[in-house]
Amino acid sequence: LLMAKEGCNLVINDLGGAFDGSGGETKAADQVVEEVKKLGVKAVANYDSVSDFNKAKAMIDQAVAEFGQLDIIINNAGILRDRMLFNMSEKEWDDVVGVHLKGAFNMTRHAAAYFREVGKVKPELKNFGRIINMASDAGLLGNMGQSNYGAAKAGIAALTIIAAMELKKYATVNCVVPLARTRLTTDATPKFADVMSKLDARGYDVFEP
């Protein structure tokens, strides 16, 4: 919603599944689209998985077709399949790494190609694109039970550094390490959700500033 308040037209991508990626319905993306439109900007929904290389490309194409250009990509898709390493299945590893790390690569790769093509056609434009990735303290510091998630997030941090080097003519690439109250964090960690719902001593909501 902050992007909408700043005047951005948006493609809202959400599979609509549970925190572990299972299930799926359009309600989550559709609700955000309606909220965005109330702020006076345009928005369309997308329900595809960023882990699919071709569907990620289609998402970039959708933004350009709907709004005439692409300016910003925010890679914040995520699922959790927490398990201690000795119990983790190959699928639990692949699913999490696929959404977080491969998904970030897919979207960044296709956005990079678009920004490069625009830059070649309009050489007067310098460093005009923006790519924002989401890492986690689980990837930087480690977190028990999250070897798949932590490895993916550490990979995203490295991807960001390299992409920033390679795309410096066309785009700024940054990575942030957020901690916020979201559908993913509250559903996956219900005990932590209680902590996240409380205000601090000043009455300040640190998880939704």
SS3 169: coil
Cα-Cα-Cα-Cα dihedral sign, residues 102, 13, 90, 188: positive
List residues with catalytic annotation.
149, 153
Tell me the sheet residues that pair with 130.
Answer: 72, 172
Distances (CA, A) of 17 to 3, 23, 121, 187, 202: 23, 5, 39, 11, 35
Tell how far CA 14 is from the center of its chain.
10
Cβ–Cβ under 8 Å, residues 115 and 60? no
Instruction: Identify the CA nearest to 207 among candidates 142, 104, 37, 184.
Output: 184
SS3 144: coil
